[in-house]
Amino acid sequence: MAKFAATLPLAAVNLDHSSSVPLYVQLHDQIRQAIVSGQFAIGMRLPSTRDLATRLGISRNTVTAAFDQLFSEGYIEGKVGAGTYVAQVVEVPERDRTPFSPLCTPCNVSQQAKKLLEMREIILRHHPDQPRAFRVGLPALDAFPTEVWCKLLTQHWRYPQLDLFRYGDPCGYRPLRERIAEHLRMTRAMSCTAEQVIIVSGSQQALDIAARVLLDPGEDAWIEDPGYLGARTVLSGAGANLVPVPVDEHGLDVESGMARSPNAKLVYVTPSHQFPLGATLSLTRRWALLQWAAQAGAWILEDDYDSEYRYAGQPLTALQGLDTTGRVIYMGTFSKVLFPSLRLGYLVVPPELVEAFAAARAVIDRHSPLLEQAVLADFMAEGHFTRHLCRMKLLYAERQAALVAAAQSLTDVIDVRPSETGMHLVGWLPDGQDDRLVSQRLAQHEIMALPVSSYRLEPSAQAGLVLGYAAFSPDSIRQAVHDLERVLRSMQTGGKAVSEPTAVMENAFSITAC
């Protein structure tokens, strides 16, 4: 026993019999750590499995299992007739033994990776875990027909199609692509076939694929200003030179874009319901944009993120439906019409680009989950999708009306006007207000009202707040407007405005990734 005590410091081994971690795993980990840290010296003799089991009061099989793993990993070695010893492993420098912290900033990554980290920080910082009024881009999850969805999902599990468990077509599940093409032809007057539809994991991936296929680093890309931050981050990350193009009540100012960059390679636009201002691109500007793209050889990324929600008349014809030269790439998402965690969206691309887009889709992550695609295809084929959209249009119209009515008497502090489409409104602030400071103050009171200026690349005198209403009941909207009024009037009468963002304030801004 004296020899055993001298060769193995038992203080390094402290097994917890009440732990859910198996004893052999604990023993392996603790001996390994003692070797790596230098507590067990190289060449040090270890006791036999029988002796160690007796001393620790555990089964010999437990010790044998731990030793076998250490042998296989190279931490210990056996000498015939001479016992078991600590192997000649490389010692780990002290600085490398520091526990990993997710807050550490990587210093040896590529410049592209650093850009991605910056984009991730924007997205994570701008998405609080618990949604609160007036978060943008979130549908009415409480009104989703979960029973219908669960029934369809159960049917696929009860009578499984083996094809749904294999690798699939990078372009997506064929029946879903057919349903989408049919829906777009009927509701958006688009000219497309199932072959042109590519299923993706939301509009962010659609943007990423389009940027990879259509852009080379350093090429100009028009973006709406103010505009969707998700598009800005993806295009910037792809190395594009962003050209901010002003937006007014008629949508993207095409003449301004041509004056700023007549030879741009790509334009990102939200023509049906401009984000965040809510304008609809006029027919005159639609034709002008298509004509410019045809002459310049440029591509148009048409993001139709919430066009289904139009409360007066039928949805407008998509740009893709007016395009006669094959310059439009159409993007749609189910995040706004169903639920965000579904992570399904789609691209409609010109026939000559299908192969290139399919190749990029395959390289990125092969394809989206097939089971969810199959359930969604059934959901659309059986008419549930159309019925759900009809119900949501009525519900969102009611919720928008509640917001407008609640803010009707507040025009001296915020002007909220109705819109014929969409899931959010803009509340315009009086001249001289700083919408970022207002948004920060509201965030301190658990009100999420996004500043219009946070979506701009170029400064503007217009100050406003973006107010999402789709996810909130009329009662909660009215209460939130009451709280918003109290804060705005407090600031108007001399309440001290914050001047620097706090951690809570930073969480107020949102990117509304699709």
**Interior angle at CA 505, CA 463 and CA 100, nearest 5:** 140
CA 230/CA 400 separation, integer angstroms = 25
The tokens for 433 are 């207000």
Are residues 298 and 269 in contact, defined by beta-carbon separation less than 8 angstroms?
no
Does 123 reside within a domain?
A: no
Q: What is the pTM of this model?
A: 0.75
pLDDT of residue 122: 52
- Domain count for the chain: 2
Are residues 455 and 232 in contact, defined by beta-carbon separation less than 8 angstroms?
no
What's the maximum distance between 2 C-alpha atoms anywhere in the chain? 95
- Residue where a domain stops, chosen among 63, 95, 127: 95
Task: Please state, in angstroms and as integers, the Cα–Cα distance from residue 31 to each residue in 36, 87, 89, 251, following that order.
Answer: 9, 12, 13, 67
**CATH number of the domain where residue 39 is located:** 1.10.10.10
Does 84 reside within a domain?
A: yes
Pairing status of strand 464-468 against strand 450-451: antiparallel
Q: Which domain holds residue 478?
A: 391-506
CA 18 to chain centre: 41
Q: Could you report the per-residue pLDDT of 209-261, keeping only the tens digit for each?
A: 999 999 999 999 999 999 999 999 999 989 999 999 999 999 999 999 999 99
Strand partners, 330: 302, 348
The tokens for 386 are 């159309």
CA 201/CA 365 separation, integer angstroms = 10
E strand or H helix that includes residue 200: strand 197-200
The DSSP secondary-structure symbol of 342 reads: G
Does 40 reside within a domain?
A: yes
Does 432 reside within a domain?
A: yes
Q: Could you report the per-residue pLDDT of 14-30, keeping only the tens digit for each?
A: 888 888 888 888 898 88
- Residue where a domain stops, chosen among 43, 63, 95: 95
**CATH number of the domain where residue 430 is located:** 3.90.1150.10
List the one residue out of 511, 494, 491 whose CA is nearest residue 442. Answer: 491
Does 436 reside within a domain?
A: yes
Are residues 141 and 339 in contact, defined by beta-carbon separation less than 8 angstroms?
yes
The tokens for 94 are 């002290």
Q: Which residues contact 391 (CB under 8 A, 6 or more apart)?
A: 143
Does 340 reside within a domain?
A: no
- Give me the tens of pLDDT residue by residue for the chain, a chain 514 residues long: 333 334 566 667 888 888 888 888 889 888 888 888 778 888 888 888 888 888 888 998 888 888 888 888 788 887 666 788 888 755 555 444 444 444 445 556 666 666 666 655 555 555 555 678 899 989 999 999 999 999 999 999 998 888 888 899 999 999 999 999 999 999 989 999 999 999 999 889 999 999 999 999 999 999 999 999 999 999 998 999 999 999 999 999 999 999 999 999 999 999 999 999 999 999 999 999 999 999 999 999 999 988 888 887 776 789 999 999 999 999 999 999 999 999 999 999 999 999 999 999 999 888 899 999 999 999 999 999 999 999 999 999 999 999 999 999 999 999 999 999 999 999 999 998 999 999 999 999 989 999 999 999 998 888 999 999 999 999 999 999 999 999 999 987 765 444 344 333 333 344 444 4
Are residues 358 and 348 in contact, defined by beta-carbon separation less than 8 angstroms?
no
Q: Which residues contact 511 (CB under 8 A, 6 or more apart)?
A: 122, 123, 126, 127, 229, 230, 233
- Residue where a domain stops, chosen among 64, 79, 95: 95
Are residues 40 and 12 in contact, defined by beta-carbon separation less than 8 angstroms?
yes
Does 237 reside within a domain?
A: no
CA 331/CA 209 separation, integer angstroms = 11
Residue 478: half-sphere exposure toward Cβ, Cα within 13 Å: 8
Helices assigned H by DSSP within 74-214: 111-125, 146-158, 174-187, 203-214
Does 46 reside within a domain?
A: yes
Are residues 268 and 242 in contact, defined by beta-carbon separation less than 8 angstroms?
no
CA 11/CA 108 separation, integer angstroms = 38
* Backbone conformation region of residue 137, classed left if phi is above 0, alpha if psi is from -120 to 50, else beta: left
The tokens for 281 are 């691109």
Are residues 94 and 215 in contact, defined by beta-carbon separation less than 8 angstroms?
no
* Backbone conformation region of residue 446, classed left if phi is above 0, alpha if psi is from -120 to 50, else beta: left
CA 367/CA 174 separation, integer angstroms = 12
